[in-house]
Amino acid sequence: MAQKVLQRAVKLSNGREMPTMGLGTLFHKDPKAIENAIVNVGYRNIDTATITMNEAQVGQGLEASIKSGAVKRSDVFLATKIWHNQY
């Protein structure tokens, strides 16, 4: 098993703490890689974008992590970006 990531966090206005380091998913096309990063490495801040065309795979990895019981959805921060002409 991989060593867990040590995470610094910032306190948000709602009182929750969000990890300052996130998993960039630019080259991740395998949902298992996302699941591994969440379950075995300890990432709780996931960063993706529409332009990377892998949001479905990121979602599948997150879903598998939740279904396995390793995390709850409320444990994970998910950031995504959309292009200015997509809103």
Percent of the chain with pLDDT over 90: 71
Per-domain residue ranges of the chain: 29-82
Q: What confidence score (pLDDT) does residue 7 get?
A: 73
pLDDT on residue 84:
79
Is residue 63 within 8 A of residue 39, CB to CB? The reply is no
- The whole-model pTM stands at 0.83
pLDDT digits (tens, 9 = 90+) for 6-36: 678 999 999 999 999 899 999 889 999 999 9
Which tens digits make up the pLDDT trace of 76-87? Answer: 999 988 877 776
Confidence check: pLDDT of 62 > 80: yes
Mean local confidence (pLDDT), 47-68:
94
pLDDT at residue 2 tops 60: no
